[in-house]
Structure 1
Amino acid sequence: MLRVILVDDEPSARRGLRRMLGQFEDVSIVAEAGDIPTALNSIRHFKPDAVFLDVELTNGTGFDIARDLPPDTFIIIVSAYDLYAIDAFNVAALDYLLKPVEPQRLETAINRLRERTTSPDGYTERAEESMLLDGAGRIRLKTNSTTILVQAETISMLKADGDYTRIFLETGQTHLISKLLRKFEPELPNPPFFRLSRSHIVNKGHIRKVERYAANKSRLYFETCSETVELGRSATRRLREILNI
């Protein structure tokens, strides 16, 4: 059973989506929320498989919730506007549904959720090519066109990029790898690598500066990698614990 939470500040929108989801026998709506605090409390309590998330909420945006979701909770954006597509991509949203939601598009989103939360018969993690190559700490990174070897210690950050992961090296180079970010987490040494959010794994040793820019939020800068990372409340809290600050 797929356990989902609906987050929308319009009761009529929640009613409509609830009615549409009722056609799927394997989908259970475990909670609904119309504001960010209620949504976060419900997510912590029910630990759903997915959150159907409106963007424009009365006390913030759905992305304030999305950035702090656990990696194994999928996001399906439901919005009346298509201008948030890039932001949805940055938080690794599973799908983006435009209001009014079309039944076929909703079915596509549910099928994607099913694929991500269940494994095909006979599938095992061993079926994937192992990432770690040898005891010297060299890692195999497979792109669409080639396979490269890098030292794990040269990686500054890994960032979710849809169904891919973008690797940022201390040299300034980046590589787009055909592998989900969550697949990397158990294979990287911890420390120095830490999962900060559903979209980011960082190398603690490459962090240069942490800059607070809003209440309980921060920006992260690296020694050589030019990419900066904006962290929400939960990710900032995890980072402060990791750095003992």
Structure 2
Amino acid sequence: MPRVILIDDEPPARRGMKRMLAEFEDIEIVGEAGTLDRARELVASVRPDAIFLDIELTSGTGFDLVADLPPETSVIVVSAYSLYAIDAFDAAALDFLVKPVDPERLQTAIVRLRERLRQTSQTSDAAIRPAAASRLLLKSMMSSVVVSIDAITMLQAEADFTRVHLDTDQSYLAGGLLGKFESDLKSPPFFRLSRSLIVNLEKIRTIKWEPGGRSLIYFAADKQPTPLGRAASKRLRQITDDYSQHFHGL
């Protein structure tokens, strides 16, 4: 049974969402919050499967909370402003619902949540770590391939799959959520920059810091840079500052 928290600073909005979610017998609402501080307390104590999150809160923005969430907590953004959609999916939101929420769109979001939880529970189909901890077995519906962990430049979440990029400029779309691979990757050099991205800092050739708090990262094998959003760029800057002795010039 999916356990969810509602986060919105408007009580009428929370009441409306509770009424809509009551139509789904398997959804259990385990808490609600109107501020970021209360939301953080609830997430830490309840460990929900998902949060329904408004973005514009009186105490800050919902994106301030997303960066601190455990990877296994899904985010469904509920906002009156569609302009937040790009940032929402940059933060690996499971879905984006526009207020007033359409019942059919909510149904789609719930189906995605159920599928995400099913995927999470199927650990046997995720990456397999060999005894030597030097390779990953990546499985898809069509094939399986073994890759060297040292050859991985980054891993990106794509819905319920993970795209694994190599320093040969190849990439593979593997079954399993991004979090399933994280325990197989040593840190450093691997760091999770956001809910949707893990990078190998040893493979980064150049970082270009962009206006507005964003950035571009260049891997040696790639012709095109990988753009990072504000939250991921902030995390990357913190990491490179901490490990500056290892990454001079980035």
Quickly name the TM-score band, shorter chain normalised: 0.7 to 0.9
1:32-56 C-alpha deviation (Å, 9 max, x unpaired): 22x4344334323432211101233
Structure of greater relative contact order (alpha carbons < 8 Å, 6+ residues apart): 1
1:139 partnered with 2:121: no
Task: Name the amino acid aligned to 1:51.
Answer: I
* 1:28 matched residue in structure 2: 29
1:5-25 C-alpha deviation (Å, 9 max, x unpaired): 212233321121122223444
Give the alignment of 1:1-245 within 5 angstroms: 1-25=1-25, 26-33=27-34, 35-58=35-58, 60-118=60-118, 125-126=123-124, 128=125, 131-132=128-129, 135=132, 137-142=134-139, 147-207=144-204, 221=217, 224=220, 226-230=225-229, 232=231, 235=235, 239=239, 243=243
1:83-141 C-alpha deviation (Å, 9 max, x unpaired): 44333332222222222223343233334323333579xx8533x27545785934343
Structure 1 unaligned blocks of 5 or more: none
- Structure 1 residue runs of 4 or more that deviate by more than 6 Å after TM superposition: 209-214
TM-score (norm 2): 0.72
**How many residue pairs were aligned?**
240
TM-score (norm 1): 0.73
Provide the aligned C-alpha RMSD in A: 3.9
Question: Whole-Å Cα distance in 2 between the matches of residues 62 and 145 of structure 1?
Answer: 38
CA contact under 8 A between 1:90 and 1:161: conserved in structure 2?
no
Question: Whole-Å Cα distance in 2 between the matches of residues 36 and 129 of structure 1?
Answer: 33
CA, structure 1 residues 161+67, in 2 after alignment: closer, same or farther (shift >3 Å)?
farther
Structure 2 unaligned blocks of 5 or more: 246-250
CA contact under 8 A between 1:210 and 1:218: conserved in structure 2?
no
Q: Secondary structure at the match of 1:232?
A: helix
Q: What is the CA distance between 1:195 and its match in structure 2? A: 3.4
Q: What is the CA distance between 1:65 and its match in structure 2? A: 2.4
State the identity as a percent. Answer: 45
CA contact under 8 A between 2:119 and 2:160: conserved in structure 1?
no
Q: Secondary structure at the match of 1:187?
A: coil
Question: Whole-Å Cα distance in 2 between the matches of residues 81 and 23 of structure 1?
Answer: 25
